[in-house]
Each structure stands twice: as C-alpha cells, then as structure tokens.
Amino acid sequence: MALDHAILVSLTERAASGYDLARRFDASIGHFWPASHQQIYRVLARMQEAGWVESTVQEQDGRPDKKTYAITPAGEAELDRWAAGPSGREAVRSDFAVKLRGFRDRDAIIADTRVRRADHVARLTEYEASEARFYPDPSALEGADLGAWLALRGGIHTERRGIEWCDEILTALEGPGSR
C-alpha cells in the first residue's frame, strides 16, 4: 500500500485540508500507516496531478487561504482497483529485533524492553478506550464503520502481542537461570 491509498481512504470519510488530514492521520490511520505532514502534502499534490483528488480554496481573513481536498471519481476508481487486489506481505522492520539479535548489552535491552512494554500498554489503553467510545455495539456495524472497527481490533491484538513478547523477553533476561 502506498500513502496515496491511506489518504484516499481518509478522504472517502469527508473532504479535508492537508492540515486536517494530518491531524486525522495522527488520531487514526497513522497508528497503522504513519506519515509526516510534509509527506501528506507531497502526496496530495501528486494525487491532484493524477486527478485522484481535487481542491477548493477558501479565503480566510487574517490567515493563509485554506485548500480543501476531496476525492474525485478517478480517485474512487483507483481506491476500488487497489482494494480489490491482494494485500502484499508486510515487511517487518524492527530496530528492536535487530538489537535483540545482536545482543550487546543485557541491561540496555532490559531497559529498552521495559520502555517498549510501557508504550504497548499505553497504546492498548488508547485503542481500548476508542473501541468503548466509538464502537459500543460492534454487532450493529456495517461497511466502513465495520472496517474501521476491525482495523482497531487488529491494533488491539498487535499491542497485546507486543506486551506478551516484552514479558517473554523480560522473563528470559531476568528470570531464574537467565545469566
């Protein structure tokens, strides 16, 4: 998947400025497909050239004009084409796993693992709060709402697995017979 498709998915929900898209990414899609504000603006410009999005300019008193982007029929067609294809195997790039593989400093790995575990716990807490707030009755969900909930559930499972892995690492490094 390219960032293009993540932006198109976001624009199917509603038109948005680049700034609003970046904020929306930070709060949702960015958990699964992170992007900087600069990347989003570059991709929006490229997609506009390709005809996948169009923009309207809104004048604002005392502030720069606001450019709002909306998906076009060509963008919808591209999103349909992409969504109908198979998902590729996701590459795993983990600085942490490479550090484990290299195993240079046990105490540093333990400290890093504790930080990672706390990050997983924080994200899990955030995802579970979002699930409770936005999806109190998942059995009633359909379409894009069902898809959003399923993606969130994927995040919940990922964070739980991350916590379990950190616990396994800590047990191996700190448990009986670990030295």
Q: What is the 3-state secondary structure (H, E, C) of the chain?
A: CCHHHHHHHHHHHCCEEHHHHHHHHHHCHHHCCCCCHHHHHHHHHHHHHHCCEEEEEEEECCEEEEEEEEECHHHHHHHHHHHHCCCCCCCCCCHHHHHHHHCCCHHHHHHHHHHHHHHHHHHHHHHHHHHHHHCCCHHHCCHHHHHHHHHHHHHHHHHHHHHHHHHHHHHHHHCCCCC
Per the structure, the count of domains in the chain is: 2
Which of 25, 49, 84 lies at the terminal end of a domain, its last residue? 84
Which long-range contacts does 30-34 make (Cβ < 8 Å, 24+ apart)? 31/123, 31/127, 31/155, 32/151, 32/154, 32/155, 33/1, 33/3, 33/6
Provide the domain limits for residue 124. Answer: 95-174
The pLDDT value recorded for residue 179 is: 65
Q: Compute mean pLDDT per 10 residues along the chain, 179 residues long, and list them.
A: 87 91 83 86 95 93 90 96 88 86 93 97 95 94 91 95 97 81
CB 4 within 8 A of CB 79: no
What one-letter code names the amino acid at 39?
Q
The pLDDT value recorded for residue 141 is: 95
Q: Do 72 and 124 fall within a single domain? A: no
Asked if residue 69 is part of any domain, the answer here is yes
Q: Do 50 and 75 fall within a single domain? A: yes
Q: Do 110 and 166 fall within a single domain? A: yes
The pLDDT value recorded for residue 122 is: 97
Q: Do 22 and 71 fall within a single domain? A: yes
Which of 41, 58, 84 lies at the terminal end of a domain, its last residue? 84
Asked if residue 26 is part of any domain, the answer here is yes
Residues in the chain: 179
Asked if residue 70 is part of any domain, the answer here is yes
Whole-angstrom CA distances from 175 to 66, 111, 114, 145, 165 are 57, 15, 14, 44, 15
